[in-house]
C-alpha cells in the first residue's frame, strides 16, 4: 500500500470530480434522446433471452416470415456445409429434452448449447446426445448425424464436458472404448459467428424496418455482452483508474474489510445490546456476538432455551455476501437439512406459504443450511451506503431501535414454527 495518504485523497477527489462531469454529460445526452435502454434487458436475463430470440430467428416457421433465410445464413456463417443439413426441411425447438436450441431436418440433428458465464453441469451434452439417440429407430449411424454447437461469448476453449470421454476440435468421443462413436462438434461465439450472422441478416431485411429495428436491438445487446457496446462510458474515469492502478488495487483490497467494519460497528455497538436487553429473561438465548468476516456468516444468533444441543434451528440476522442488505432467517445449527424427510419439508413449506419467510436458501460458508430467509426493507439495497448515511446523520441509535423491533417481532412470530421444527429434528436424530 502506498505510504502517502495524500495520494489516495487526491485520487478520490479527482475521481469524484470526473464522475460528476460524467453524470452531467449523461444527463445532457438523455435529454437529446440517447439512451442505453434495450428491450431484451427488460424482458429476460442471460441465456434465456438469447436462446429464445436466437431460436425465434432460426425457426423457418417463425413470425419473421422469412422462411429458412436466417437459418441458411447461420449454417453458412458457422461453416457447416460438410454437415449437409437441409434447412428447407428444418424444425427448431426450444428446451426440447432440456436442450437450449434443437434443430432437425428429420435426418440430421443440431444441438446448440448456450453458455453465458456458466459451465457444463450434470453431464448436459452427454444427456442431450443420448436423448436424441434414444428417439431414433435405427441407432447404428445416428451419432454421425448429430452436431453439437457450443456457444459462448468469446469462443472459450472447452477442456472438459461431463459424460464425454474426449473433446477434439471437430468431434466429441462419447465412449473411450468405442472410437467409432463420434459426434460432430464445433465451438462458436457471440463475439464472432453471432455478430457476423446478425450483420448479414440485417442486410437481407434492410427494407423491413420493424424487423430490422428488433434485430438491431439484439445486435446492441450482443455487443454489450462481448464488450463492444457503446454505452455512456466515462473515459475520463477509465483514464484515472489506469493512471492510478496501484491505488485502485489497494482500495479494492480494503473495500471489503471497510464494508464489514461499518456493518460490525452498527451491529456490535448499537443493535446487539438492544436485542440482548429485549430478550433478557425470556425463553430465547442470544449467542455471543462475533464480528462478521466470513461470507454469509450470521451476525446475530438466537436459539430457544429448550433446544441448544445437537442439531437445532436458529433464528439469525446476517449481511449478505455483497453487503447490499441485511436479512433474517432460519438456519440449521450444524448439518444439512434432511429434506428427504417429508415432515421437515412440510414444516418449511408451511413457513413459506404463511408469508413469514420468502425463500429456501442453501448458502455456502454458514455453519449449517438455511431453511428460509427474508430481506429487511429498511436495510436492503446499498446497505453500506445507508449505514454510512445513518452514521453521518447520527441515526444509528434510531435505526437500531427500528431493526431491534423488526428482529424480535419476527422471532416471536415464528416461535411455534421454530419449536415444531426442533421437535421434529430431535425425532429424526440428524446429528
pLDDT band at 17 (very low <50, low <70, confident <90, very high): confident
Cell matching residue 239: 483514464
Q: pLDDT at position 362, please?
A: 44
The mean per-residue pLDDT over the stretch 201-230 comes to 84
DSSP per position, 148-196: EEEEETT-------TT-SEE-SSEEES-TT-TT-EEEEEEEEIIIIIHH
244-285 pLDDT, tens digit each: 878 888 887 788 788 888 888 888 899 999 999 999 999 999
Alpha carbons 337 and 151: distance in angstroms, whole number: 37
Q: pLDDT at position 430, please?
A: 47
- Alpha carbon 105 to its chain centroid, in Å, reads 35
Nearest CA to 367 out of 339, 332, 337 is that of 332
Q: pLDDT at position 1, please?
A: 47
Q: pLDDT at position 207, please?
A: 87
Alpha carbons 270 and 230: distance in angstroms, whole number: 46
Question: Average pLDDT over the chain, rounded to whole?
Answer: 80
Alpha carbons 331 and 409: distance in angstroms, whole number: 18
Is residue 106 exposed (0-12), middle (13-18) or buried (19+ Cβ within 10 Å)?
exposed
Highest mean pLDDT among 1-10, 188-197, 295-304, 320-329: 188-197
The residue with greater pLDDT, 367 or 416, is 416
Cell matching residue 253: 483490497
Q: pLDDT at position 35, please?
A: 55
Own/partner long-range contacts of 385-393 (Cβ < 8 Å, ≥24 apart): 387/262, 387/263, 387/266, 388/262, 390/266, 391/262, 391/265, 391/266
The mean per-residue pLDDT over the stretch 146-156 comes to 90
The mean per-residue pLDDT over the stretch 333-338 comes to 60
Alpha carbons 126 and 172: distance in angstroms, whole number: 10
The residue with greater pLDDT, 352 or 365, is 352
- Enumerate the H helices of 280-382 as residue ranges: 342-354
Q: pLDDT at position 85, please?
A: 95
Q: Rounded to 10 degrees, what is the CA torsion of 225, 230, 236, 241?
A: 10
The residue with greater pLDDT, 407 or 313, is 407
pLDDT band at 37 (very low <50, low <70, confident <90, very high): low
Residue 41, pLDDT above cutoff 80: no
Q: pLDDT at position 313, please?
A: 82
Cell matching residue 46: 442471460
Residue 296, pLDDT above cutoff 60: no
Q: pLDDT at position 364, please?
A: 37
The residue with greater pLDDT, 179 or 25, is 25
The residue with greater pLDDT, 336 or 431, is 336
What are the C-alpha distances in Å from 249 to residues 2, 10, 15, 253? 11, 16, 15, 6
The mean per-residue pLDDT over the stretch 127-153 comes to 87
- 382-393 burial, b at 16+ Cβ within 10 Å, e below that, comes to ebbebbeebeee
Nearest CA to 302 out of 322, 290, 316, 292 is that of 316
Alpha carbons 314 and 181: distance in angstroms, whole number: 53
Alpha carbons 298 and 301: distance in angstroms, whole number: 7
CB 132 within 8 A of CB 146: yes
Residue 121, pLDDT above cutoff 80: no
Alpha carbons 172 and 142: distance in angstroms, whole number: 14
54-73 pLDDT, tens digit each: 999 999 999 899 999 999 99
Flag the least confident range among 89-103, 252-266, 392-406.
Answer: 252-266
Phi and psi dihedrals of 415, rounded to 5? -50, -55
Q: What is the SS3 assignment for 36?
A: coil
Residue 3, pLDDT above cutoff 60: no
Q: What is the SS3 assignment for 205?
A: coil
> Sheet harboring 109-114: ordered strands across?
91-96, 99-104, 109-114, 146-152, 182-189, 171-173, 166-167
The mean per-residue pLDDT over the stretch 367-380 comes to 68
Phi and psi dihedrals of 347, rounded to 5? -65, -40
302-323 pLDDT, tens digit each: 999 998 887 788 888 887 656 6
Residue 75, pLDDT above cutoff 90: yes
The distance between the two most distant Cα atoms of the chain, rounded to a whole number of Å, is 79
Residue 338, pLDDT above cutoff 70: no
- How many C-beta atoms lie closer than 10 Å to residue 142's C-beta? 19
What are the C-alpha distances in Å from 329 to residues 111, 265, 315? 42, 21, 6
- Enumerate the H helices of 205-270 as residue ranges: 209-225, 235-243, 245-266
Cell matching residue 170: 471437430
What are the C-alpha distances in Å from 370 to residues 183, 315, 348? 42, 10, 10
The residue with greater pLDDT, 330 or 360, is 330
Amino acid at each position: 500500500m502506498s505510504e502517502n495518504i495524500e495520494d489516495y485523497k487526491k485520487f478520490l477527489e479527482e475521481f469524484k470530480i470526473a464522475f460528476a462531469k460524467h453524470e452531467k454529460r449523461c444527463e445532457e445526452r438523455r435529454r437529446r434522446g440517447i439512451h442505453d435502454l434495450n428491450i431484451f434487458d427488460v424482458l429476460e436475463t442471460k441465456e434465456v433471452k438469447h436462446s429464445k430470440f436466437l431460436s425465434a430467428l432460426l425457426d423457418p416457421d417463425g413470425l419473421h416470415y422469412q422462411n429458412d433465410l436466417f437459418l441458411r445464413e447461420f449454417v453458412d456463417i458457422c461453416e457447416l456445409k460438410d454437415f449437409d443439413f437441409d434447412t428447407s426441411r428444418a424444425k427448431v425447438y426450444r428446451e426440447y429434452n432440456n436442450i437450449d436450441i434443437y434443430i432437425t431436418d428429420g435426418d440430421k440433428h443440431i444441438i446448440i448449447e448456450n453458455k453465458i458465464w456458466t459451465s457444463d453441469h450434470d453431464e448436459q451434452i452427454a444427456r442431450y446426445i443420448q436423448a436424441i439417440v434414444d428417439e431414433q429407430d435405427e441407432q447404428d449411424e445416428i451419432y454421425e448425424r448429430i452436431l453439437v454447437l457450443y456457444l459462448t461469448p468469446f469462443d472459450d476453449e472447452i477442456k472438459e464436458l461431463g459424460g464425454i470421454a474426449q473433446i477434439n476440435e471437430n468431434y466429441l468421443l462419447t465412449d473411450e472404448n468405442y472410437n467409432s462413436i463420434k459426434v460432430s462438434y464445433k465451438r462458436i461465439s457471440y463475439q464472432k459467428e453471432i455478430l457476423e450472422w446478425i450483420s448479414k441478416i440485417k442486410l437481407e431485411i434492410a427494407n423491413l424496418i420493424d424487423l430490422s429495428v428488433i434485430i438491431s436491438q439484439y445486435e446492441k445487446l450482443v455487443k454489450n455482452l462481448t464488450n463492444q457496446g457503446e454505452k455512456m462510458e466515462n473515459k475520463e474515469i477509465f483514464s484515472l483508474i489506469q493512471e492510478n492502478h496501484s491505488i485502485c488495487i489497494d482500495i479494492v483490497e480494503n473495500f471489503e474489510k471497510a464494508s464489514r467494519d461499518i456493518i460490525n460497528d452498527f451491529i456490535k455497538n448499537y443493535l446487539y445490546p438492544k436485542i440482548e436487553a429485549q430478550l433478557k429473561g425470556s425463553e430465547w438465548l442470544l449467542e455471543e456476538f462475533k464480528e462478521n468476516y466470513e461470507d454469509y456468516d450470521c451476525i446475530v444468533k438466537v436459539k430457544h432455551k429448550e433446544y441448544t444441543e445437537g442439531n437445532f434451528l436458529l433464528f439469525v440476522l446476517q449481511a449478505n455476501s455483497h453487503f447490499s442488505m441485511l436479512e433474517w432467517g432460519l438456519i440449521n445449527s450444524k448439518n444439512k437439512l434432511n429434506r428427504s424427510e417429508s415432515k421437515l419439508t412440510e414444516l418449511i413449506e408451511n413457513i413459506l406459504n404463511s408469508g413469514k419467510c420468502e425463500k429456501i436458501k442453501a448458502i455456502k460458508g454458514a455453519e449449517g443450511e438455511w431453511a428460509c430467509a427474508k430481506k429487511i426493507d429498511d436495510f436492503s439495497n446499498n446497505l453500506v451506503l445507508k449505514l454510512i448515511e445513518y452514521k453521518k446523520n447520527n441515526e444509528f441509535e434510531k435505526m437500531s431501535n427500528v431493526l431491534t423491533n423488526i428482529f424480535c417481532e419476527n422471532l416471536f412470530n415464528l416461535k411455534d414454527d421454530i419449536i415444531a421444527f426442533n421437535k421434529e429434528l430431535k425425532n429424526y436424530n440428524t446429528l
